[in-house]
A and B are shown apart, each in its own frame.
Chain A
Amino acid sequence: MKLDLNAKYQTSHEWVRPDGDQMVCGISDYAQNSLSDVVFIELPDVGKLLKQGDVFGTIESVKAASDLYMPLSGEIVEVNEAISDALQIINNDPYNKGWLIKFKPTNMVEWDKLLSGKDYKKAVEAEG
């Protein structure tokens, strides 16, 4: 399982890390591997205000469809247009080119509650 140690995680398998004064978010390597080849993604409109834990989109593979959850509250400022025609990027490079959304966080207190890469790995391994 590959991890980006600069990012924080939540047990629903999204990662998030600072990107200038914004946050960038995607799905973990473990998540892309469990889903297998991504075939569809639905991302939010720019400008949308979402709370931590809100559904910001849906991701679908031939195996399953899953909701995507906001790791922090914030306003969507950008979605990754480059992946819409090349969904395999999410599978090949989930932490970099395969990012999904960028947002302006509105409550950084929430950041402290997210899992470190190490703790996320433990949580995933405990899940089996």
Chain B
Amino acid sequence: MLLIPEPLLFELSSPGRTAFSLPTLDVPASPLPQELVREAVNLPEISELDLVRHYVHLSQKNFSIDTHFYPLGSCTMKYNPKVNETAAVMEGFNRSHPLQPEDMAQGNLALMYHLQEFLKEIAGFAGISLQPAAGAHGEFAGVLMMRAYHLARGDTRRTKILIPNSAHGTNPASVTMSGLEAVEIPSDERGNVDLATLQSQCDDTVVGLMLTNPNTLGLFEEHIEAVVKAVHDCGGLMYGDGANLNALLGIARPGDLGFDVMHFNLHKTFTTPHGGGGPGSGPVGVSERLRPFLPGPIVAKKANQESENTPYSLLLTPYFLTMPEQSIGRVKAFHGNFGMLVRAYTYIAMLGEEGLRQVSLNAVLNANYLKARLGKTFPVPYDRLCMHEFVARGDIVPGVHTMDIAKRLIDYGIHPPTVYFPLIVHEAMMIEPTETESKQTLDNFVEVLQRIVHQAQDEPDFLRTAPHSTPVNRLDEVAAARKPILCYKG
């Protein structure tokens, strides 16, 4: 089934076929005004059965966490528990409307309030906004808050944001989007931020530093205290890219380490759907001094002033929406991607404190197990105890690239790891197994990679044309990028 190419809807089309039938007209026909009538819109005409088969075939070709091992580094493709879906389709949640008055949406607001509290506790922050719709959107909101903080103090000289070269690729883009200048800081030989360069860049033009910790090499910053101190001493703020939070739950809190702002990726760490699905969700957490600048509205709870005179209605409606005093404003319509908030809340509530800690312990254990087994074959340039992921080199057989190995993995039912990122490792292969994979799955991955290495030595051309078990084989990505065909031309 996987091998049969699926035709496009346009190719299935046959004139006159439909997948619907309208009931007999029981009102007088009213013709459309002439200027609104289009000709030849060229929509496909397909029967209901053909249409159903088309989409079922496509769904069967889907390569997802529910069907295959997915060690896509930096993306935390862990299992998304189905109980999340049970909670998200509860009527009270999925039939509510964002314009409903607050006193009629207390359940939704309560969930948002408690999720804010959970995230505060998990990461050690003073305030949370659930609005941003994705990780990079959270970054953007965070950088705007950092800028607003300095401007509110009349400090207008600050225009630079420092970014280590082991940070996520979205960080410089978020800085540019915010009208600031990104300055790259190199890494030292152990994969940490190069302290000497950092200190030489820390002056009164620095808005802050954006640190991904653990970084994209999967390494915990060993000089975290010195990095935070250098940035704070020059008046800058610390931004944390929380995309790699899966390594730290219940172990270290970014707020305690001195971070002033961080985004969470609910679609990574907190198991909301991810990758071709989603939508994402990227709440931001802040320290006390940035709390007034949070994007809003956020959910607050009325202080408990219960007395005999408190009206009963007030006791029933303690949750309300409020705009932080110096808010950077809204960054999304309504209240973020609410359905994702329900799923993340469910996940956190189901696991609890000890469960979340176990998530990170197992994620780190799985990554180190793979590093120990694979590191013998694929060199790991920054080889020290890793966190939730590690980066190895895939160019171990002359003439065979990491991309060839990655594509061949598909034939064995394994999603390729992230390749060619981070840029500081040549022919990089970034592997993040996540905590939800068993030892058997990890061992199978190692055995498959070893088999592929033998194939690379014996029949390199077979690898260069992989995958071989998919409806289309190696795609010409270069031609697709240079001369893209963006419209169907039947």
Contacts and interface: CB of A to CB of B under 8 A. Distances in A.
B379 to A, nearest CB: 10
A39 B423 contact: no
Interface in A33-51: 34, 37, 39-40
Given A63-B420, A64-B420, A34 B478 contact: no
B426 A62 contact: no
Contacts of B420: 63-64
Contacts of A39: 478, 481-482
Interface of A is mostly: loop
Interface size class of B (residues with CB under 8 A): under 10
A40 B481 CA distance: 8
B426 to A, nearest CB: 7
Contacts of B308: none
Interface size class of A (residues with CB under 8 A): 10 to 19
A62 B477 contact: yes
Contacts of A20: none
A128 B478 contact: no
A87 interface: yes
Contacts, number: 19
B481 A34 contact: no
Nearest to A87: B482
B404 to A, nearest CB: 12
B423 A62 contact: no
A34 B426 contact: yes
A37 B482 CA distance: 10
A87 B482 CA distance: 8
Nearest to A34: B426
Given A63-B420, A64-B420, A37 B478 contact: yes
A63 B401 CA distance: 12
Interface in B415-470: 420-421, 423, 426
A87 B421 CA distance: 23
Contact of B426 (A40, A60, A66, A128): A128
B176 to A, nearest CB: 11
7 contacts: A39-B481, A40-B481, A62-B477, A63-B420, A64-B420, A128-B381, A128-B426
The 6 closest A-B pairs by CB, nearest first: A39-B481, A37-B478, A63-B420, A62-B477, A39-B482, A64-B423
